[in-house]
Amino acid sequence: MQEDVIVRSKYDNKIAPFVGKQLIKVLTGQRRVGKSYILKQIVLDIKKADISANILYINKEDMLFDRIKTASDLNEYVLENTKEGVKNYVFIDEIQEIAQFEKAMRSLLLNPVYDLYCTGSNANMLSGELSTFLSGRYIEIPVYSLSYNEFLLFHQLESSNLSLMLYLKYGGLPYLKHLELKDEIVYDYLKGVYNTVIYRDVIMRNDIRNTAFLENLVLFLADNIGHLFSAKKISDYLKTQQVNIATTQIINYLNHLFNAFLIYKVRRMDIVGKKIFEIGEKFYFEDLGLRNAIFDYKQSDIGKIIENAVYNHLLYNDYEVKVGQVGAYEIDFVGKRKGEYIYVQVCYLLQEQATIDREFGNLEKINDNYPKMVVSMDEFAGNTRNGIQHIYLRDFLEMEL
């Protein structure tokens, strides 16, 4: 185990209360967001606290563990390498690569000599395998690509407008700290990551045949960040482009992209009645760098990009996020956490009075006292209007909400 781990304290703090407990600790998220890195961070913490600890680390991306293909293989490997008289800490990276893994985990969980941890790159793993066999016996910890503050830490940068633009352009995959931040270098790496996610976690896992349509769908979503869509609207649009794809097939492909954590779907809610609308969602990318690598970063897209960055920051801060609706007026984001709400409007610049009136006016129609803010790229933010804050994007991304 390498010792030069940069601690992502958010995850350290979330996992610490469950170390040694008879619960499976499951880290979920897109490939390359740093789940393996966090596992190694946990290992180092355990080794410091328990010098007698027996660490079993199974990395399913390593050929050394290629023979572990089924639940029986996993169970046999752990039993063979168990030490008596000490705590055995079992770490399994990319556990979805092991067929029926949940059966082995359920069996191992019965024995208190084991403390179990795993990572997975497919959300269906939780909604299906784990929730069916291990309900109430696991804790899920979502892992995201680096926040802006983590990006600064990893790249040893001071917060500045230049650092902000690097973050918006290249995103937050942790491995970038080993690369020179230049387009030709970063985007070559990111395209490789994108291809891995698409082919291993989407195409191969779901036996997709129409790969050309799948990739065009991702490009369509990249071009339409922050737009309200439904599968039917996407189908209707594609028909105008002479592409005839059934709505049900589009729904399936979108679900595959969500399950691989490449794309997030954000549903709409009525703020007054708290009703969730069945039709109309927005789509955002887990990592802006991946989006920009496959869809050419352009200054004209900056409005979409900062909206995606704001959404990601709300997720990182543990908010459940929806698109808000107040009558005929839209609120970009409604964040809910522990019964408390936050409302956020996002725009590029507040240069015209009509824009100011729209962004602040929509928030003024919400009749409660929860925090409300407009986030933009205006550096001279800080003013308020009827208690609604105007915040510069860089300041917002530095905030612990």
Name 344's bridge partners: 333, 373
- Lowest-confidence region among 97-101, 144-148, 381-385: 381-385
| pLDDT digits 0-9 by tens, 248-272 | 999 999 999 999 999 999 999 999 9
The H or E element spanning position 285 is strand 276-285
User: Which range (105-119, 125-139, 166-180) has the least confidence?
Assistant: 125-139
pLDDT over 70 percentage in the chain: 98
Q: Does residue 197 carry a pLDDT above 90?
A: yes
- The pairing of beta strand 384-385 with beta strand 388-392: antiparallel
Handedness of CA 93, 99, 101, 107 (dihedral sign): negative
What pLDDT sits at residue 155? 97
Residue 386 backbone class (left: φ over 0; alpha: ψ -120 to 50; beta: rest): left
Q: Which two tokens stand for residue 264?
A: 């997030």
Q: Does 125 score more than 80 pLDDT? A: no
For residue 1, is pLDDT > 70? no
DSSP 39-92: HHHHHHHHHHH-TT-EEEEEETTSGGGTT--BHHHHHHHHHHT--TTS-EEEEE
Alpha helices in 317-382 (DSSP H): 353-364
Check if the beta carbon of residue 202 is closer than 8 Å to that of residue 257. yes
On the question of pLDDT at 345 being above 90, the answer is yes
SS3 162: helix
Q: Tell me the residue type at 214.
A: L
pLDDT digits (tens, 9 = 90+) for 61-77: 899 999 999 999 999 99
* Strands of the 329-337 sheet, one edge to the other: 276-285, 263-270, 320-326, 329-337, 340-346, 372-376, 388-392, 384-385
Predicted confidence band of residue 335 (pLDDT cuts 50, 70, 90): very high
Contacts of 5 (CB under 8 A, 6+ apart): 37, 40, 41, 44
Q: CA separation (Å) from 387 to 5, 201, 252?
A: 42, 45, 43
- Can you read off the two tokens belonging to residue 231? 């599968």
What is the pLDDT averaged over residues 201-222?
Answer: 93
CB 141 within 8 A of CB 15: yes
> What Å distances lie between residue 41 and 6, 223, 243, CA to CA?
8, 36, 47
Q: Side-chain half-sphere of 344: how many Cα atoms within 13 Å?
A: 29
Q: What is the mean pLDDT of residues 322-328?
A: 95
Element (H, E) at 284: strand 276-285
Nearest CA to 11 out of 115, 143, 173, 122 is that of 143
**Domains of the chain, earliest start first:** 9-142 (3.40.50.300), 148-225+255-398 (no CATH)
Using CA atoms, how far apart are residues 323 and 232, in angstroms rounded to an integer? 19
Overall size of the chain counted in residues: 401
Average pLDDT of the segment spanning 220-245: 88
pTM of the model: 0.95
pLDDT band at 52 (very low <50, low <70, confident <90, very high): very high
Q: Which long-range contacts (CB under 8 A, 24 or more apart) does 383-392 make?
A: 385/356, 385/360, 386/360, 388/360, 388/363, 388/364, 390/350
Sign of CA dihedral 305, 216, 227, 145: negative
> Is the pLDDT confidence value at 4 over 70?
no
In the 3-class helix/strand/coil scheme, how is 15-48 assigned residue by residue? HHHHCCCCCEEEEECCCCCCHHHHHHHHHHHHHH
